Copies of this chain bind each other. A is one copy, B any other.
Amino acid sequence: MTIAQLETPGLICDLDITERNLRAMQSAADAGGVGLRPHIKTHKTPALAKWQLELGACGLTCAKLGEAEVMADEAGCTDLFIAYSLLGADKAARLRALQERAEVRVSVVSLAQAEILSAALGGAPVKVRLNVDTGLDRDGMTAARAVADAQRIAALPGIELIGVFTHEGQAHKGHNFDEVKAIGRQAAQQLVDVAAALRAAGLPCDEVAPGGTPTAADLASYPGVTEVRPGTYLFYDMMCVECMDLTAADCGLRVLTTVVDLPAERRVIVDGGSKTFFNDQFASWGRAMCVEHPDLRLEKCSEEHGHAEWRGEGAPPVKLGDRLTWIPSHVCPVVNLFDEMTAVRGEEVVDTLRISARGKVR
């Protein structure tokens, strides 16, 4: 079977491109002597997680407990990091059950959250990393707060402090790849400094883990870093293309569509909208790009209609019924809309991969 025979819309995973991306990041981690712990939020697919582990990943990162459960049960992963603030008796019970079948690290975002976690676990042991906000302004502690509260956190029943981590997502704001990497290094240095302060205070802090996709390969060689945690790198997407030295040829996950209407001169309507491409409607940059016609970009989405605009000369070079392949703007939420993706080598369909952790928000 070939791609031309697949119904649309659908997800295509190009295994050649994906493998190249997987191997390149593993090489960067190996060269830096750090662990690679991929974030599975991007693919949510046990088969791809297994591949990452086989190629040398030291373990996996998950956002939600439900994702971690899938990766333990379906990818056989025995070394998991849940980079999320866990609260409540239900989550604690599931965490304890998961600890029976894997080594699990979890995030601590504050002293208050660590107290609730410790109590909910009834003092049962749990390995934690402090979540340091190095500029994203999302969750976690400032560097100063982490240093100030680490001693009390580490003293809570069951809490075993082993390291620090950050998600320097603000690196995406860099105007070019050099700026992106510079932002990443500033974040890494903050994290390294926190780790040094913790060790100076007599606390254990062996693990120092920054590193999202745009910054991970660079930070793998940054002094003091012990692990990187990229997610999108196996696929990349148009947001990565626009802030890193990449092209569409580096992007391993594509959305296959059909042209279902050509209602006006430069307007091409395809059979995937925001329930296929997530919401490209408001992205001011990195819009989904058509592989066959790079001057065709997805301008906005209603739920089941993608509105593409032809930015080239003359009329758009497409006709009703044509099949168009797209690099999405942000690949992670796109994958999360599908139950499966079709794996290909060239034009040949070689497998169907189940996205088992799709929708695991709990």
| Interfacial chain B residues near A276, Cβ < 8 Å | 361
Task: Tell me whether A320 and B112 are in contact (CB under 8 A).
Answer: yes
Does A265 belong to the interface (CB within 8 Å)?
no
Q: How many copies does the complex hold?
A: 2
A336 to B302, CA, bound (A): 14
Which stretch (A84-92, A158-166, A285-293) binds chain B? A84-92
Does A129 belong to the interface (CB within 8 Å)?
no
| Interfacial chain B residues near A258, Cβ < 8 Å | 87-88
Does A294 belong to the interface (CB within 8 Å)?
no
Q: From known contacts A333-B275, A359-B339, infer whether A139 and B260 are also in contact, taking CB-CB under 8 Å.
A: yes
Which stretch (A6-14, A96-104, A343-351) binds chain B? A6-14
Q: From known contacts A90-B7, A140-B261, A263-B140, infer whether A333 and B303 are also in contact, taking CB-CB under 8 Å.
A: yes
| Interfacial chain B residues near A41, Cβ < 8 Å | 303-304
Residue-wise, chain A 275-308 has the 8 Å CB interface mask toward B (1 for contact) of 1101101110000000000000000001111010
Does A23 belong to the interface (CB within 8 Å)?
no
Does A78 belong to the interface (CB within 8 Å)?
no
Q: How far apart are A228's CB and chain B's nearest CB, in angstroms?
A: 19
A344 to B7, CA, bound (A): 38
Identify which of residues 164-183 in chain A touch chain B, using a CB-to-CB cut-off of 8 Å.
169
Task: Tell me whether A261 and B110 are in contact (CB under 8 A).
Answer: yes
A281 to B281, CA, bound (A): 11
Does A138 belong to the interface (CB within 8 Å)?
yes
Task: Tell me whether A260 and B304 are in contact (CB under 8 A).
Answer: no
Q: How far apart are A42's CB and chain B's nearest CB, in angstroms?
A: 10
Task: Tell me whether A336 and B9 are in contact (CB under 8 A).
Answer: no
A91's nearest neighbour on chain B, judged by CB, is: B7
Q: Which of A141, A263, A304 has the most CB atoms of chain B within a 10 A radius of its CB?
A: A263
Which among B109, B305, B321 is the interface contact of A87 at CB below 8 angstroms? Answer: B321
| Interfacial chain B residues near A7, Cβ < 8 Å | 88, 90-91, 362
Which among B10, B109, B139, B279 is the interface contact of A333 at CB below 8 angstroms? Answer: B279
Does A63 belong to the interface (CB within 8 Å)?
yes
A305 to B139, CA, bound (A): 8
Task: Tell me whether A304 and B362 are in contact (CB under 8 A).
Answer: no
Identify which of residues 19-76 in chain A touch chain B, using a CB-to-CB cut-off of 8 Å.
41, 63-64
Task: Tell me whether B305 and A362 are in contact (CB under 8 A).
Answer: no
Q: How far apart are A153's CB and chain B's nearest CB, in angstroms?
A: 14
Having A8-B362, A10-B362, A279-B279, one finds 14 other A-B pairs with CB under 8 Å, namely A8-B88, A9-B362, A64-B304, A85-B271, A87-B321, A88-B321, A109-B260, A112-B262, A139-B260, A139-B305, A169-B302, A274-B278, A282-B282, A282-B283
6 cross-chain CB contacts under 8 A: A10-B362, A41-B303, A85-B269, A139-B260, A275-B361, A338-B359
Which residues of A are at the interface with B, using a C-beta cutoff of 8 A? 7-10, 41, 63-64, 84-85, 87-88, 90-91, 109-110, 112-113, 116, 133, 137-141, 169, 258, 260-264, 267, 269, 271-272, 274-276, 278-279, 281-283, 302-305, 307, 320-321, 332-333, 336-339, 359, 361-362
